[in-house]
């Protein structure tokens, strides 16, 4: 057994291990985690083929030839269903699941005649000599597979982009809500399927690429499982932004109704000033709504239409004002910029610097050094 075979087997084990952990993980995202669990199972099953080829297991068990190929058509749908469920927290109907799984079902139907072929025919089809002589059917199916995944990744990126735009209306600190693991996963898919596409093009140009495929895929796919599995298990709970869409549906086009918010504005200003909710670095719009006795929708509209800000800027404006006082107060002269940021409710120095410059036009360091008489 060579080193690549060992890497492949470890990748398979890792994929199943991550999948089991996600299926059994206690989390508000139970359904999303289950979908991710099945996604990692499909990753593992897809590279069983490479182990079978490298260790000549097809020669001993020809009945399993071809059965692992269709699982690659689960990648795109499962990734999309995972992200959609994670962000929207909406239940999918059986009909919707089946719709996304249609390509997987169709490819299994197309492969069914191959499953029924005699073992000798299947062995000849997947022999070492045939690796570099892919049939037109194989090439077309591979192109469909790449196109399907590309479409799903495109819509996944759209969902993530829309989610990131809604975050400032939901949380006051966005540093902990990291989607790094999703982007890392997409980068790996771009590399893996981009590499596959290049090999297919080279086949059409008359070059043999089967050996390159078998040499490199055993490195790329397990690496993707290791890295994305690590990030997926460490991902913190995402903020719920679904209420923003619900609010838009209920209220329609937003209008300026700041006059009717006069009493509520005064109440919110008083609460924020006296009780300093903004110092809570885990503050969310739901927590603030509960604290001031408003519904989520009422508070969101109050901030958006009454103050003409999103929740993120509204809270950070109070934090910046607090930080400005500390930066000018000799009592805090021995504190670092990071310490002042944390005292004011920020989670990171970078977020503090960005918010401070947005509200004052200068960095905290510049503000501390600037003559007091020239600071607005």
Burial category of 232 from C-beta neighbours within 10 Å (exposed 0-12, middle 13-18, buried 19 and up): buried
Q: Give 322-348 pLDDT, tens digit per residue.
A: 999 998 888 888 889 999 999 999 988
The single residue listed with the structure tokens 């103050």 is 307
CB atoms within 10 A of CB 91: 8
CATH code of the domain containing 361: 1.10.10.60
pLDDT of 20 strictly over 90: yes
Q: Which residues pair with 171 in a beta bridge?
A: 284
Q: Are residues 99 and 124 in the same domain?
A: yes
pLDDT, position 248: 64
Strands (E), the chain: none
Q: 3-class SS at 284?
A: strand
Average of per-residue pLDDT across 135-158 = 82
Residue by residue, DSSP assigns 216-279 as HHHHHHHHHHHHHHHHHHHPPPPP--HHHHHHHHHH-S----GGGGHHHHHHHHHHHHHH-GGG
Q: Are residues 297 and 368 in the same domain?
A: no
**Token pair listed for 316:** 């950070």
pLDDT of 215 strictly over 80: no
How far is residue 214's CA from residue 202's CA, in Å, rounded to a whole number? Answer: 15
Average of per-residue pLDDT across 259-288 = 82
**Is residue 111 a contact partner of residue 70, using CB atoms and an 8 Å limit?**
yes
Query: For the whole model, what pTM was predicted?
Result: 0.77
pLDDT of 33 strictly over 60: yes
Q: Are residues 40 and 169 in the same domain?
A: yes
Tell me the pLDDT band of 255, cut-offs 50, 70 and 90.
very low
Q: Are residues 221 and 340 in the same domain?
A: no
Q: Are residues 8 and 125 in the same domain?
A: yes
Q: Are residues 52 and 179 in the same domain?
A: yes
Number of domains in the chain: 3
How far is residue 220's CA from residue 216's CA, in Å, rounded to a whole number? Answer: 6
Q: What does pLDDT average to over the chain?
A: 80
Q: Are residues 206 and 290 in the same domain?
A: no
Q: Give 178-211 pLDDT, tens digit per residue.
A: 666 677 777 777 787 777 778 777 766 767 666 7
Tell me the pLDDT band of 102, cut-offs 50, 70 and 90.
very high
Lowest mean pLDDT among 27-41, 94-108, 206-220: 206-220
How far is residue 58's CA from residue 283's CA, in Å, rounded to a whole number? Answer: 57
pLDDT, position 238: 67
Q: 3-class SS at 208?
A: coil
CB atoms within 10 A of CB 192: 19
pLDDT, position 249: 61
Domain extent at residue 340:
309-376
Average of per-residue pLDDT across 57-80 = 86
Rounded percentage of the chain residues whose pLDDT exceeds 70: 82
Question: Phi/psi of residue 27, each to 5°?
Answer: -165, 155
Q: Are residues 38 and 132 in the same domain?
A: yes
CB atoms within 10 A of CB 311: 23
Q: Are residues 301 and 313 in the same domain?
A: no
Q: Which of 77-81, 87-91, 185-189 has the highest mean pLDDT?
A: 77-81
pLDDT, position 171: 80
Lowest mean pLDDT among 50-54, 68-72, 275-279, 320-324: 50-54
Q: Are residues 119 and 268 in the same domain?
A: no
Q: Are residues 45 and 192 in the same domain?
A: yes
pLDDT, position 104: 92
**Is residue 218 a contact partner of residue 179, using CB atoms and an 8 Å limit?**
no
pLDDT, position 68: 83
pLDDT of 148 strictly over 70: yes
CA distances from 45 to 157, 160, 351 (A): 26, 27, 42
CATH code of the domain containing 158: 1.20.1070
pLDDT of 159 strictly over 50: yes
How far is residue 301's CA from residue 26's CA, in Å, rounded to a whole number? Answer: 34
pLDDT, position 260: 57
Lowest mean pLDDT among 2-16, 76-90, 282-296, 362-376: 362-376
pLDDT of 139 strictly over 90: no
pLDDT, position 352: 92
The single residue listed with the structure tokens 């070059």 is 207
CB atoms within 10 A of CB 82: 24
Helices 285-292 and 311-328: crossing angle, nearest 10°? 80
Q: Are residues 73 and 135 in the same domain?
A: yes
Residue 168's Cα: distance from chain center in Å?
17
Give the residue from 240, 261, 280 where a domain finishes: 240
pLDDT, position 251: 59
């Amino acid at each position: 057994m060579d080193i690549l075979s060992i890497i492949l087997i470890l990748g398979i084990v890792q994929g199943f291990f991550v999948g089991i952990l996600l299926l059994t993980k206690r989390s508000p995202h139970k359904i999303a985690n289950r979908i991710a669990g099945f996604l990692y199972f499909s990753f593992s099953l897809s590279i069983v083929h490479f182990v079978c080829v490298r260790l000549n297991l097809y020669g001993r068990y020809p009945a399993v030839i071809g059965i692992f190929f269709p699982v690659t058509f689960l990648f795109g749908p499962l990734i999309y269903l995972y992200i959609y469920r994670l962000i929207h927290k909406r239940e999918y109907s059986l009909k919707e699941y089946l719709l996304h799984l249609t390509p997987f079902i169709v490819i299994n139907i197309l492969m069914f005649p191959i499953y029924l072929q005699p073992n000798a025919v299947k062995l000849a089809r997947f022999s070492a000599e045939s690796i570099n002589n892919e049939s037109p059917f194989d090439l077309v199916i591979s192109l469909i597979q790449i196109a399907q995944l590309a479409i799903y990744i495109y819509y996944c990126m759209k969902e993530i982009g829309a989610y990131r735009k809604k975050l400032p209306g939901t949380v006051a600190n966005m540093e902990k809500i990291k989607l790094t693991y999703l982007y890392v996963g997409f980068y790996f898919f771009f590399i893996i399927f981009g590499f596959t596409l290049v090999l297919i093009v080279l086949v059409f140009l008359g070059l043999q690429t089967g050996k390159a495929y078998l040499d490199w895929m055993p490195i790329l796919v397990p690496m993707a499982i290791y890295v994305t599995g690590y990030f997926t298990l460490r991902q913190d709970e995402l903020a719920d932004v679904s209420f923003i869409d619900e609010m838009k549906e209920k209220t329609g086009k937003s209008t300026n109704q700041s006059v009717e918010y006069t009493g509520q504005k005064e109440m919110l200003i008083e609460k924020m000033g006296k009780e300093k909710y903004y110092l809570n670095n885990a503050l969310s719009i739901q927590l603030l709504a509960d604290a001031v006795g408003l519904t989520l929708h009422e508070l969101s509209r109050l901030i958006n239409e009454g103050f003409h800000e999103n929740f993120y800027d509204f809270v950070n404006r109070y934090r910046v004002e607090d930080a400005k006082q500390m930066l000018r107060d000799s009592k805090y002269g021995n504190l670092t910029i990071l310490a002042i940021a944390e005292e004011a409710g920020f989670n990171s120095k970078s977020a503090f610097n960005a918010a401070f410059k947005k509200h004052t036009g200068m960095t905290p360091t510049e503000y501390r050094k600037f003559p007091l008489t020239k600071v607005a």
